[in-house]
Amino acid sequence: MILSVASGKGGTGKTTVAVNLALSLSPRRQVQFLDCDVEEPNAHFFLKPQILKSQEVFIQIPKIIEARCTYCGRCAEVCTYKAIAVVKKAVLVFPELCHGCGGCSLLCPQKAIKEVGQRIGVMESALSNGLSFIQGRLDIGQAMSPPLIREIKKNLDPNLVVIIDSPPGTSCPMVESVKKSDFCLLVTEPTPFGLNDLRLSIEILRTMKIPVGVIINRAGIGDNRVEEYCYQEGIPVLMTIPFDREIAVAYSEGMPIVEVRPSYRDKFSTLFSRVEELIR
């Protein structure tokens, strides 16, 4: 099973759910944890993995071979992301806009474009509490995380229970992370902001045809409009985690819920069983 954990709004407890679910399953199942929140990965604070391998990740960007270029403008025409511009007798390349698709070099009639690697970050592989752990770290100044997320997901093992910690929001990084998931858990909070971003996330996942369930974190601090919305939309609320000062303090110290409240191991195991039932 490929199970992604996402949230429309940042700070709802997405990583908390992903980490504690993985720790609750790992004694009985082989689990792989992918931290795809590459702009600010933080699962390692709780899982404390032993890094075994680190490798640089590059994106292929175009370099113009001036001697061959006729300035026909074909490369600029085919670039969806406007990463190339042709002006008079010059070709301008904007690496920060390039998605590395290779279309410009493939379709250049003069073969005047070659691809060169530009580093965007690193991918780290590790072991932690019996878990297979992989995370990415986007380099400072890099504008796009999806290429690094794709590189992480190339190492996904479909024979294991794969838990993907997705970036917050509903933009390209989140979409790339949850793509091809068997199920997505959306973590939200019972506030107007939480409900608004939950709606956006559900619209995205419905478009992608990915089954979804909701987890309400810090239950009790707001109102019941999240539950009402889920009931109206036929979306299962699979778990609620009450606001608990002890859990918050443990989080600030890098301790998972299941360490300070062992009873939550059974709760997260039950959560996983409910997900299995929903996708059968």
Q: In what order do the strands lie in the sheet with 183-188?
A: 50-64, 113-128, 131-138, 31-35, 161-165, 2-6, 183-188, 212-219, 237-242
Check whether residue 200 and residue 260 sit in a common domain: yes
Amino acid at 153: K
For 102, 204, 206, 263, the CA distances from 178, given in Å and listed in that order, are 24, 10, 12, 29
The span from the CA of 132 to the CA of 224, in Å, is 37
Residue 156 lies in a domain: yes
Check whether residue 210 and residue 158 sit in a common domain: yes
Say what the pLDDT of residue 262 is.
93
Residue 116 lies in a domain: no
Final residue before a domain boundary, out of 76, 91, 111: 111
- CATH code, domain with 128: 3.40.50.300
Check whether residue 88 and residue 205 sit in a common domain: no
Say what the pLDDT of residue 26 is.
87
Domain with 180, as residue range(s), is 2-57+121-279
Residue range 207-257, pLDDT digits in tens: 999 999 999 999 988 889 999 999 999 999 999 999 989 999 999 999 999
- Could you tell me how far CA 269 lies from the centroid of its own chain? 22
Residue 56, Cβ density class (10 Å: 0-12 exposed, 13-18 middle, ≥19 buried):
exposed
Say what the pLDDT of residue 280 is.
84
Give the total number of structural domains in the chain.
2
Check whether residue 6 and residue 48 sit in a common domain: yes
Check whether residue 88 and residue 127 sit in a common domain: no
**pLDDT beneath 70, residues of the chain:** none
> Do the bridges between strand 161-165 and strand 31-35 make them parallel or antiparallel, or are there none, so unpaired?
parallel
Check whether residue 50 and residue 73 sit in a common domain: no
Check whether residue 47 and residue 129 sit in a common domain: yes
Check whether residue 79 and residue 25 sit in a common domain: no
Check whether residue 211 and residue 190 sit in a common domain: yes
Check whether residue 152 and residue 269 sit in a common domain: yes
The span from the CA of 37 to the CA of 112, in Å, is 36
Say what the pLDDT of residue 129 is.
78
- CATH code, domain with 83: 3.30.70.20
Say what the pLDDT of residue 164 is.
98
The span from the CA of 1 to the CA of 256, in Å, is 23
Q: How many residues does the chain have?
A: 280
Check whether residue 157 and residue 252 sit in a common domain: yes
> What pTM did the predictor assign?
0.92
Check whether residue 162 and residue 251 sit in a common domain: yes
Say what the pLDDT of residue 20 is.
96
The span from the CA of 260 to the CA of 219, in Å, is 18
Residue 260 lies in a domain: yes
Say what the pLDDT of residue 206 is.
96
